[in-house]
Amino acid sequence: MTAITLIQAINQAMAYALKHDPDTLVFGEDVGHNGGVFRATDTLQERFGKERVVDTPLAESMIAGMAIGMASYGLKPIAEFQFMGFIYPAFNQIVSHAARLRNRTRGRLHCPLVFRAPYGGGIHAPEHHSESTEALFAHIPGLRVVIPSTPARAYGLLLAAWQDPDPVLFLEPKRIYRALKQEVPDDGKALPLDKAFLVREGKDLTLISWGACMQETLQAAQSLSQQGVESDVIDLASISPIDMETILNSVTKTGRCMIVHEAARQGGVGADIAARLAEEALCYLRAPVVRVTGYDTTMPYMALEKQYMPSVQRILKHAQTVMEFA
Amino acid sequence: MITSAPYQFSELAQFHVHRLQFMNEQSELTQALPAFATDETLLELYRLMCFTRSGDEKAVNLQRTGQCGTYPASTGQEAISTGIGHAMADSDVFCPYYRDQGTLLQRGVRWEDIYTYWGGDEAGNLIPEAVNTHDFPVSVPIASQFQYAAGIAFAMAYRGESNAVVATGGEGSTSEGDFHEALNLAGTHQLPLVVVINNNQWAISVPRDSQTSSQTIAQKGIAAGVDCLQVDGNDVIAVREAVALALEKARSKGGPTLIEALSYRLCDHTTADDFSRYADEAHLKAAKEHEPIARMRRYLTEHHQWNDDKENALLSDLNSHVQEAAQTYLNRSKPKIDDMFNHMYAHLPKELEEQRELAKEGY
């Protein structure tokens, strides 16, 4: 089996969905002949036809609304927003309809759909192409937000999102679209939604992250290990709902916790985790919960993006404070 | 006009906007009636318009007496919703906004469902007697309904079905991007979508002239490659026939249509609004002359021996229906804390299960 990248795993999952379910459609801007600007939908139109892999007009609210209507009528749409920075025109459709259709009809109608969007910085993209605003969506009841951090999890979680009877926003860390390779069997096996992944075990510190930042977090864990500090590393993966059970199991053991994310700190998902730890694990904490995040600035254009995003060095600096706290 | 500059400009295209009317303000026929308009059907349309008004009046009364929440009546616009509902087949899907009571009543929505919804309980959207379970509940955010309506039409086309979607909105909604985006999609893929705009001259307090300088609302379809038509929205026969023609075209793969139905909102925007703050008395008086129910009553009186006795018998019958619906609504058991949580997801996340229990314990 050849090892594949995260974006190839996403392509493989969509091909699996299209192959096994005639009600599944993939659509968005440039997803057809061009195969998507990152090639996530490469060859899908060729293989599954123009009726099922559709280039839409350039209108994000429309893409979202189209998916909602199709899903309510029994199809399984996988819709792409070209960049998360352009998802905002669709916010009303996602928040006012996709996320609440089941509830406001008391279960009569529902909306099983997947919204995909590449997100995050670090690829020297133009302005507006690098944001990480997952917290905006994590705040919306009725919507699931999922972020993979490896090819295998991208495949398994995208299939899980596709099989889920509710709307899922699937955010793809584009910085690592091609950074990692793994063997990912095309077996159609979905990973569980709503579950975090404990990817490294240690007794001294809990490191929680997701998406591309998992790379720096794991490297920091490796460095800390060389200094004798052993970390639990949790890939949150499900940004909403948050798997607090996995987090609490770890933090009640380690007593120290750091959350690493690329998004701005204020109102970020890290804030919610920290608050939950204060509520539910206060007596187990041996140091303040610390967040290593993007700053509360606009995501800078490429000249400064490296300084904005959490680096291994920044994580290690904060880790020192956390470990030294008596 | 920039074409007054001293150059030769060549004309590329010409566009036309047409209007349809069968019965004018004086209740005179302006052309031969369409085939559907038998004596029986005209009486049925009249009954449905009156039923809409009776139920609206009851809803406003319930709100004024503290028994219902904010309610948007459709007074003066009953011909539009009634005509739409009468033209639709059960297999068509309806994506309403919030002034379509006359259509809803023909889609299996009962007055008690409408009262339940505006009384504050989402269970009003369950619609146990829906003629089509895919029908959407009312869309409150303006113009957003056109987008998912186009999505449903896309799904119908994908499946090769021969039904269509009807979506409605007010003229204010045609200023929103969602309206144009949905029409653009429908035009691009020639989707089986019929959009009906109730141009009732007011978007809450903003008059039609402050909404757009477009000569008609109908012509907004032209840029999207969508067939368009203006109808006299106070003429239920014209609305019914225009929607039927558009649906027939949509079902036979002829593509989408935008219909502008001209009316006048003879009521507050909702019970939370006060029309007298901004409406001109003289305009209102003139508009009342054109309203659809009086127009049809005059016609029926002149041509179908309609009289006060028949009128009173009808209104009394409708009134007792509405009273009964109101009583059913008032007797309904109130929603419980569980209802707030149970339909958030197909499988309730653990976190929400915990919150549900906490809520029940008063935390």
Comparing C-alpha atoms, which of A288, A153, A248, A162 is closest to residue A210?
A153
For residue A270, give how far its alpha carbon lies from the nearest alpha carbon of chain B (Å). 17
Residue A182 pairs with which residues in a beta bridge? A4
Mean pLDDT of chain A: 97
Domain assignment present for residue A115? The answer is yes
* Distance in angstroms (rounded) separating the CA atoms of residues A246 and A281: 13
Domain assignment present for residue A99? The answer is yes
The pair of three-digit structure tokens given for residue A320, joined into one six-digit string: 């020192």
Domain endpoint, select from A159, A183, A207: A183
Claim to verify: residue A45 and residue A94 sit in the same structural domain: yes
- The pLDDT score that the predictor gives to residue A148 is 98
- Nearest by CB: A62 against B122, B147, B350: B147
Burial B144-178 (b: 16+ CB within 10 A, else e): bbbbbbbbbbbbbbbeeeebbbbbbbbbbbbbbeb
pLDDT band, very low/low/confident/very high, at A326 (cuts 50, 70, 90): confident
Contact by Cβ (8 Å): A103, B344? yes
Domain assignment present for residue A290? The answer is yes
Q: What part of B 275-314 touches A (C-beta under 8 Å)?
A: none
Domain count, chain A: 2
Domain assignment present for residue A239? The answer is yes
Task: Report DSSP state, residue B65.
Answer: T
pLDDT 10s digits, A187-221: 999 999 999 999 999 999 999 999 999 999 999 99
Mean pLDDT to the nearest integer, A266-285 = 98
pLDDT 10s digits, B323-354: 999 999 999 999 999 999 999 999 999 999 99
pLDDT 10s digits, B154-185: 999 999 999 999 999 999 999 999 999 999 99
pLDDT 10s digits, A106-137: 999 999 999 999 999 999 999 999 999 999 99
pLDDT 10s digits, B2-28: 999 999 999 999 999 999 999 999 999
Mean pLDDT to the nearest integer, A87-102 = 98
Claim to verify: residue A155 and residue A96 sit in the same structural domain: yes
Domain assignment present for residue A273? The answer is yes
- Nearest by CB: A141 against B146, B344, B347: B344
Q: At what angle do helices B111-118 and B39-64 cross, to 10 degrees?
A: 30
- CA distances from residue B357 to A241, B123, B138, B230 in whole angstroms, order as listed: 17, 21, 31, 54
Burial of B326 (0-12, 13-18, 19+ CB in 10 A): buried
Residue A232 pairs with which residues in a beta bridge? A206
Cis geometry, peptide bond prior to residue A241 (ω within 30 degrees of 0): yes
Claim to verify: residue A113 and residue A148 sit in the same structural domain: yes
Using the beta-carbon criterion (under 8 Å), do B144 and A92 form an inter-chain contact? yes
Domain assignment present for residue A189? The answer is no
Claim to verify: residue A246 and residue A294 sit in the same structural domain: yes
Burial of B220 (0-12, 13-18, 19+ CB in 10 A): buried
- CA distances from residue A31 to A17, A19, A123, B18, B308 in whole angstroms, order as listed: 16, 17, 20, 38, 64
Mean pLDDT of chain B: 97
Comparing C-alpha atoms, which of A73, A72, A84, A74 is closest to residue A28?
A84
Contact by Cβ (8 Å): A79, A63? yes
- Looking at the predicted structure, is the pLDDT value of residue B74 above 90? yes
Cβ neighbours of residue B198 closer than 8 Å, sequence gap 6 or more: B77, B80, B81, B99, B168, B169, B170, B171, B233, B261, B263
- Neighbour count for residue B13 (Cβ, 10 Å): 5
Domain endpoint, select from A148, A183, A218: A183
Q: What part of A 131-170 touches B (C-beta under 8 Å)?
A: 141-142, 144, 164-166
- The alpha helices in B198-307, defined as continuous H runs, are 208-211, 236-251, 281-289, 292-303
Domain assignment present for residue A190? The answer is no
Claim to verify: residue A47 and residue A167 sit in the same structural domain: yes
Cβ neighbours of residue A139 closer than 8 Å, sequence gap 6 or more: none
Using the beta-carbon criterion (under 8 Å), do B351 and A166 form an inter-chain contact? no
Claim to verify: residue A23 and residue A168 sit in the same structural domain: yes
Q: Which amino acid is at A157?
A: L
Claim to verify: residue A246 and residue A148 sit in the same structural domain: no
The pair of three-digit structure tokens given for residue B178, joined into one six-digit string: 């969602």
Claim to verify: residue A31 and residue A89 sit in the same structural domain: yes
The catalytic position among A97, A124, A129, A139 is A129
Cβ neighbours of residue A26 closer than 8 Å, sequence gap 6 or more: A14, A18, A41, A44, A48, A52, A53, A54, A77, A78, A79, A80
**CATH number for position A90:** 3.40.50.970
Using the beta-carbon criterion (under 8 Å), do B155 and A69 form an inter-chain contact? yes
Mean pLDDT to the nearest integer, B58-84 = 97
Residue of A nearest to B182 (CA): A62
The kind and range of the H/E element at A85 are: none
Residue among B107, B116, B173, B181 with most chain A CBs within 10 A, to mutate? B181
Model-level pTM?
0.97
- Phi and psi based region of residue A276 (left: phi greater than 0; alpha: psi -120 to 50; beta: remaining): alpha
Q: At what angle do helices B111-118 and B308-331 cross, to 10 degrees?
A: 50
- The pLDDT score that the predictor gives to residue A77 is 98
pLDDT 10s digits, B131-158: 999 999 999 999 999 999 999 999 999 9
Phi, psi of B360, deg, nearest 5: -70, -30
pLDDT band, very low/low/confident/very high, at B280 (cuts 50, 70, 90): confident
pLDDT 10s digits, A8-50: 999 999 999 999 999 999 999 999 999 999 999 999 999 999 9
* Distance in angstroms (rounded) separating the CA atoms of residues A94 and A100: 9
Contact by Cβ (8 Å): A181, A5? yes
Q: Is A139 annotated as catalytic?
A: no
**CATH number for position A214:** 3.40.50.920
Claim to verify: residue A276 and residue A127 sit in the same structural domain: no
* Distance in angstroms (rounded) separating the CA atoms of residues B251 and B227: 14
- The pLDDT score that the predictor gives to residue A1 is 87
- The pLDDT score that the predictor gives to residue B323 is 98
Contact by Cβ (8 Å): A275, A297? no
pLDDT 10s digits, B80-113: 999 999 999 999 999 999 999 999 999 999 999 9
Q: Which amino acid is at B55?
A: G
CA end-to-end span of chain B:
67
Give me the domain span that covers residue A165: 3-183
Q: Does A244 touch chain B (CB under 8 A)?
A: yes
Domain endpoint, select from A150, A183, A216: A183
Claim to verify: residue A46 and residue A136 sit in the same structural domain: yes
Claim to verify: residue A175 and residue A276 sit in the same structural domain: no
Q: How many CA atoms lie within 13 A of A323 on its CB side?
A: 19
- Neighbour count for residue B7 (Cβ, 10 Å): 7
DSSP string for A21-81: -TTEEEEETT-STT--TTSTTTTHHHHH-TTTEEEPPS-HHHHHHHHHHHHHTT-EEEEE-
The pair of three-digit structure tokens given for residue B219, joined into one six-digit string: 């012509």
Contact by Cβ (8 Å): B340, B331? no
- The pLDDT score that the predictor gives to residue A69 is 98
Domain assignment present for residue A225? The answer is yes
Q: Does B318 touch chain A (CB under 8 A)?
A: no
- The pLDDT score that the predictor gives to residue B283 is 86
* Distance in angstroms (rounded) separating the CA atoms of residues B263 and B178: 23
Burial B102-124 (b: 16+ CB within 10 A, else e): bbbbbbbbbbbbbbbbbbebbbb
Claim to verify: residue A48 and residue A173 sit in the same structural domain: yes
Mean pLDDT to the nearest integer, A267-272 = 98
